Chains A and B, each alone.
Chain A
Amino acid sequence: MSAGLPRKKDTIEIVRRGLKKRHAAARRFKFTGVAAVGMSLFFLSLLFVSIFSKGYSAFRQTYVHLDVSIDPEILGVGAHPDMNALANGDYGGLRKAALRTMFPEVKKRREKRALYQLVSSGADYQLRDAVMADPALIGTTLSLWVPADDDVDMLIKGHIRRELPEDDRRLKDYQIAWIDRLVAAGRIENRFNTILFTAGDSRDPEQAGILGALVGSLFTMLVTLSLSFPIGIAAAIYLEEFAPRNRWSDFIEVNINNLAAVPSIVFGLLGLVIFLTYFDLPRSAPLVGGLVLTLMTLPTIIIASRAALASVPPSIREAALGIGASPMQTLLFHVLPLALPGVLTGTIIGMARALGETAPLLMIGMVAFIVDIPTGIFDPSTVLPVQIYLWADSPERGFVERTSAAIMVLLIFLIVMNALAVILRKSFERRW
């Protein structure tokens, strides 16, 4: 006893002496973690801030108020024109005439050309649609807001600085004077940019929209999901639950793991050879894009699903089999529902990766200029990341902000998908 007491004291002493050091180590360890998280958050916010600060202005667009007198003579149609004649009318002439009446003092040819450039040529189609919807408008004066040209838009938004020397700007001094007069007359307004969400691609920034790419992405994802989800789960179930463990199953497993790490462009080349050359499927179609991305996401889904299946405790299987369920019943009614959260997470991670992919789509022709909005999986289409890439590569200044806006839309798409994954996982999750 008498020998034990001091020894105990010694131990406490030793512990006390080391305590400070150990606490410091623990604090350091914790701090590294906080620093790592902080760093990631910092870079993430840097990304968001840079995209948002560049892109938020794209959600607004400058509009010009025009009073267009719909003169059948300029339009080149008779008093009772048929639809065909109306469709081919000279609406550009109407737009030009409207601008001339607003600025009657502009006489020189070069200046007239500069004047016509203030308003987007997309106004012509807007006029055409209005007249074709209501032919009674002919002979009257139509008052409407039309998108301004991208250079005007950039000036109003402050992306082109007016204090620069005239030669360095795309807008001449007299053009800026006209714009100022329009602003003073209340004929220029900054409105929500609906075109961005309702139009397909265009080479004029003020007419360009992401709907085409969004629909294309949706179709492509639909094809990918409807193929890779069932195939991936079926493969995972067989490999995890039924396949005998032998050299073959090992071989398959190694190959699946390898495929998960193969660069995506390789799948594009594979798709080019198999789907386009051999099956004769159409180039640039969401169907082929979806097929290629299916090949790419399958390994991810299989690996995640196998891990989810393996994590279901054996007691569940044994209990189900014990009360007389067949192996299939055990699997479908007990194991699979419990593994589902993991399976879904894997699927959505795979899909999110597929959504952001451009390289394999390059090979099958989805990196293309497509104006018409696709209506099915056979129509030529492009996808969101490709649209971002194409806009980033365009010389027109107006595409800089639209590129960032498209990135924001893609991010929202991704966030919605990931949120869905979290919700699904939460609603199916069970803990033991």
Chain B
Amino acid sequence: MNKKAPGVLAPALALLIAGNAFAQSGRDYINIVGSSTVYPFATVVAEKFGKSTKFKTPKVEATGSGGGFKLFCAGVGMQHPDVSNSSRRIKQSEVDQCKKNGVDEIIEVKIGYDGIAIANSKKSKPVPLNLKDIFLALAKEVPNPKGGETLTENPYKTWKDVNPKLPDQPIEVLGPPPTSGTRDAFAELAMEGGCKTIGWIKALKKKDKKQYKKICHTVREDGAYIEAGENDNLIVQKLEANPNALGIFGFSFLDQNGDKVQASPINGVNPEFDSIADGQYPISRPLYFYLKKAHVKVIPGIKAFMAEFTSEKAWGDEGYLTDRGLIPMPKKERMRFQNDVKMLKALKDLS
């Protein structure tokens, strides 16, 4: 017994000492957190940066956009991340949270766009949709088909019920769960986009914004929309096995699996590189990262890393990020953000 007691205490003591030693010694690599949509792009830049410079390779964690800001805004210091990726713009509440913890200078950088594709297996025919079809097929409550300004539980069972031009097959859509940023963007851009085409619901937006959002963003729960998890590869596999189903996933997965799945044109536009870049394809969203200004001088390599990320060879029209499915911004916008980073111009207000 006596022999064992010090054996138990020693590791605990060592732990305390080690912890303190680490907190003082600092960190020599860049710490990046945030969106899993930006993750594939941030990691590529990080790897190139680590291999081609004398700095260590930055560490990139996929925590989701919200989770990323939570960590990012926890304070200034070695133990907090330097960069947070996001598949949406930072929210006012998050800026306030940051301020409260002493993170008052944040640099906002938009890196490009990401398209969300709706696709099905190559074994069946493509299903051309418009946003209204998407809303009517997937919303929990839809306007009464008999007319009038009332809502009813979604009665549609097949695509043909939604729109007579569509094939007579059951509505079966595999998509991301509510925790995913892709789902948020899908609800906002596709569902709401379709919802707005109905006059009286659009009018509701001014009167009762909450009710409007509830109608437009709530996805049906009767089995027609199947939550297939965060793994987009899995959705592609399931589509292959079930030719009747449609799937929702990021453009980069469509790009890599062109032999297995085909995209549905939305409002007559196919999700392609150019159509997303010029905004013709309706379901695309901007991607961002946010940098903590207070860390720029403390962590080695941040400036060089930023220069790499915002260089033409990375995010330009023919940069290596476009090979991974990032849709570049117009040149003017790129120059503006590149300049913001160089000058370390902090975000003033969200407008």
Contact = CB atoms under 8 A, between A and B. Distances in A.
> From DSSP, what is the main secondary structure of chain A's interface residues?
loop
Interface in A153-193: 160-161, 164, 167-170
B253 A170 contact: no
Contacts of A378: 18, 22
A31 interface: no
Given A87-B54, A282-B27, A367 B22 contact: no
A202 interface: yes
Contacts of A202: 47
B19 A280 contact: yes
Nearest to B20: A280
A331 to B, nearest CB: 9
A431 B1 CA distance: 27
Contacts of B325: 395
A372 to B, nearest CB: 5
Contacts of A393: 36, 230-233
Contacts of B7: 230, 234
A227 B39 CA distance: 34
Contact of A287 (B16, B18, B54, B323): B18
A32 interface: no
Contacts of A161: 259
Interface in A74-88: 87
B43 interface: yes
Contacts of A226: 11
B43 A279 contact: no
Interface in B6-58: 7-8, 11, 15-16, 18-20, 22-23, 27, 29, 31, 33, 36, 39-40, 42-44, 46-47, 50-51, 54, 56-57
Given A284-B59, A369-B46, A395 B19 contact: no
Contacts of A42: none
Select the residue from A233, A238, A380 with max chain B CB neighbours within 10 A. A380
B318 interface: yes
Given A203-B43, A238-B1, A372-B50, A281 B231 contact: no
A392 B233 CA distance: 7
B121 to A, nearest CB: 12
Interface in A185-241: 202-204, 226-227, 230-231, 233-234, 237-238
A370 B42 CA distance: 12
B287 to A, nearest CB: 15
A291 interface: yes
Contact of B44 (A203, A231, A392): A203
A353 interface: no
A376 B4 CA distance: 27
A380 B59 contact: yes
Interface in A124-152: 125
A203 B62 CA distance: 14
Contact of A397 (B4, B40, B256, B324): B256
A234 B8 CA distance: 8
Given A226-B11, A369-B59, A164 B16 contact: no
Nearest to B252: A395
Contacts of B18: 281, 287, 378
A231 B7 CA distance: 8
B178 interface: no
A30 interface: no
A368 interface: yes
Interface in B298-351: 318, 320, 323-325
A234 B46 CA distance: 45
24 contacts: A113-B318, A161-B259, A167-B258, A169-B258, A169-B259, A226-B11, A230-B4, A230-B7, A231-B8, A234-B7, A276-B79, A280-B19, A280-B79, A281-B18, A281-B22, A282-B22, A367-B62, A369-B43, A369-B61, A371-B50, A393-B231, A394-B40, A395-B325, A397-B256
Interface of A: 87, 113, 117, 121, 125, 160-161, 164, 167-170, 202-204, 226-227, 230-231, 233-234, 237-238, 242, 275-276, 279-284, 287, 291, 328, 365, 367-372, 378, 380, 392-397, 400
Across the A-B interface, the 5 shortest Cβ-Cβ residue pairs: A371-B57, A369-B60, A368-B61, A234-B4, A279-B19
